[in-house]
Amino acid sequence: MNPRMAPRPLDGRLYTDPAVFGDEMERIFSRMWVCGGRLEELDEPGRFVTREIGGESIVAARTAPPEDDAGSNRPGSSEPGALGINGTPGGATRDLAAFYNVCRHRGARVVDECAGTARVFQCPYHAWTYGLDGRLIGAPHMGNDFDAGSAGLVPVRIGAMDGFFFLSLAADGPPLAEVSADLPDLSRFTLGRLVRGDRHEYEARANWKILCENYNECYHCAVVHPELNRVSDYRNSGNLETGRFFVGGPMTLNGGCNTMTATGQSNRPDLPAIEVADRTSVQYYHVYPNLLISLHRDYVMTHTLWPIEAGRTRIVCEWLFDPDTAAAPGFDPSDAVDFWHLVNSQDWDVCARTQLGVASRGYRPTAYEESEACVQVFDGWYLDQMGL
Ligand code: FES
Ligand SMILES: [Fe+2]
């Protein structure tokens, strides 16, 4: 099925209107599986993180040791062995749990930290105490008539795929397996076993869709990213690939280059299972709504986008490596990290510049350029989600 392609760049109010932003949180971020980050952050029982999704604070925690450390290596996979895939309607997978960060007594926020390790979660107001799985295990002086069994933290679905965890506020939404079945086969990048080599957090003064649109085209690369364009010419984009939950495709690297660093080279070995074509290209995918994943022969970079308000977005960028490479003496990811940190900063700059423009009454968008097909697909998908 051909995807809907937006006929022209989106109207300005879709990037600036707080009511539209609220609608997006409802129609997109509260309905879809949102990428929470890497499972590495929840690697041991008691490890937890909080995430802001659709205006809600959500706690995700590991309740028991991982049952299958390797997880699934293939986004297209739905094997039963995949880590916690297809979170149960109740919210708990076998070894992960997620819930609204809202006390069942009188509603106080329970957890303040972005991440940490806990044995229990205790509300700071009247000390109601919850287990890692959200069950109420202590409520001072509440007496025997009180039904503690029905007063656990309200569950949110959590699922795992290829070393990532995903959260869904939609209690009766589709299983995560539906997303994974739609994605291209990336098993050769062994995503499930990669480990984090570095992480940067940014805040861009731009709407989250402007960041997505910017990721989805390289028309701007020669102008905005001269360093990148020396390694990967902006005209070298390959076939557009698209599905219900993603858009993307490969870009071919310039002659003599085989990865994205300032020199186009690195001394890291290839990820163990990559194919010949991966030695001269990079794959870029946007998994809707908030995961951007860039796959190189020797490392993977991910961005997760966290909308704050219509004109502001938090971005978490992570660089993932093969565990053997990362454990080797002298491992140094800085060539990949510094290169993309520069490119990231250049991107957030032009995104902020665009946010200024779309807020103007003089904003009268005209047309996409041919190489912006992925942007047209993303914008078309967005219009569909919003019923526009
Ligand atoms: S509001 Fe949490 S214990 Fe009272
Ligand atoms: Fe860019």
**Measured distance CA(171)–CA(165) in Å, rounded:** 17
How crowded is residue 305: how many other Cβ atoms within 10 Å of its Cβ?
21
Residue 126 has pLDDT above 90, yes or no: yes
82 pLDDT band, cuts 50/70/90, is very low
Taking each helix axis from N to C end, the angle separating 373-385 and 208-215, rounded to the nearest 10 degrees, works out to 150
pLDDT of residue 91: 40
Q: Which two tokens stand for residue 140?
A: 């001072």
Distance between CA atoms of 321 and 266, rounded to whole angstroms? 13
pTM above 0.85, yes or no: yes
Under the banding of pLDDT at 50, 70 and 90, the label for residue 93 is low
Ligand 2 centre distance from Cα of residue 339 (Å): 12
Mean pLDDT of 222-236: 96
d(CA 34, CA 36): 6
C-alpha 285/C-alpha 266 separation (Å) is 22
Q: Average the pLDDT over 245-273 and give the result.
A: 97
Cα–ligand 1 centroid distance for 136 (angstroms) = 11
Return the domain boundaries, the chain. 1-28+184-388, 32-172
Q: Which atom of ligand 1 is nearest to the CA of 106?
A: 1
pLDDT of residue 67: 72
Edge-to-edge order in the sheet of strand 47-53: 34-38, 164-168, 155-161, 96-100, 56-62, 47-53, 115-117
State in Å: Cα 70 to ligand 2 middle.
32
Amino acid 68: pLDDT: 58
Tell me how far CA of residue 267 lies from CA of 264, 331, 342, in angstroms.
Answer: 11, 10, 20
Return d(Cα 120, Cα 138) in angstroms, integer: 10
Q: Provide the CATH number for the domain formed by 32-172 in this structure.
A: 2.102.10.10
The answer to whether residue 72 scores a pLDDT higher than 90 is no
User: Does 330 have pLDDT greater than 50?
Assistant: yes
Average the pLDDT over 73-95 and give the result: 42
Task: Evaluate if residue 79 carries a pLDDT over 70.
Answer: no
Atom of ligand 1 nearest to the CA of 110: 2
What residues does ligand 1 touch, defined as CB less than 6 Å away? 103, 105-108, 123, 125-128
pLDDT of residue 297: 98
171/56 Cα distance (integer angstroms) = 14
Amino acid at 326: A
Q: What is the mean pLDDT of residues 196-219?
A: 98
Work out the percent of the chain whose per-residue pLDDT is above 90: 91
Q: How many CB atoms lie within 10 A of CB 176?
A: 26
Residue 60 pLDDT: 98
Mean pLDDT of 39-61: 97
Distances (CA, A) of 201 to 167, 204, 248: 20, 10, 23
Query: What is the C-alpha to C-alpha distance for residues 51 and 251, in angstroms, rounded to an integer?
Result: 32
Selection from 384, 375, 385 nearest residue 8 by Cα: 375
Question: Architecture of domain 1-28+184-388 in CATH?
Answer: Alpha-Beta Complex (3.90)
In this predicted structure, which of 83-92, 232-241, 251-260, 366-375 has the lowest mean pLDDT?
Answer: 83-92
Ligand showing the shortest atom-to-Cα distance for residue 210: 2
Atom of ligand 1 nearest to the CA of 139: 3
Q: Name which residue sits closest to atom 4 of ligand 1, judged by CA.
A: 126
| pLDDT single digits (tens) 344-357 | 999 999 999 999 99
For residue 142, the ligand closest to its alpha carbon is: 1
| Residue 108 Cα: closest atom of ligand 1 | 1
Asked if pLDDT for residue 257 goes beyond 60, the answer is yes
Mutate which of 100, 111, 128 for ligand 1? The one with the most ligand atoms within 8 Å of its CB, which is 128
DSSP string over 196-235: EEEEEEEEESS-HHHHHHHHT--TTHHHH-HHHHTTS-TT
pLDDT of residue 238: 83
Of all protein residues, the one whose alpha carbon is nearest to atom 3 of ligand 1 is 126
Residue 237 — pLDDT band, cuts 50, 70, 90? confident
CA of 334 to the centre of ligand 2 (A): 19
What spacing in Å lies between the alpha carbon of 235 and ligand 1's midpoint? 58
d(CA 27, CA 347): 27
Mean pLDDT along residues 296-323: 98
SS (H, E, C) 295-343: ECCCCEEEEEEEEEECCEEEEEEEEEECHHHHHCCCCCCHHHHHHHHHH
Among 57, 100, 101, 105, residue to substitute to test ligand 1 (most atoms within 8 Å of Cβ): 105
The three state secondary structure string of 42-93 is: HCCCCEEEEEEECCEEEEEEECCCCCCCCCCCCCCCCCCCCCCCCCCCCCCC
Q: Which of 1-5, 69-73, 100-104, 162-166 has the lowest mean pLDDT?
A: 69-73
The ligand 1 atom nearest the CA atom of 104: 2
Whether 260 has a pLDDT exceeding 70, the answer reads yes
Average pLDDT, the chain: 93
Using the mean position of ligand 1's atoms as its centre, give its distance from the Cα of residue 106 in Å.
Answer: 5
> Ligand 1 centre and the CA of 98: distance in Å?
19
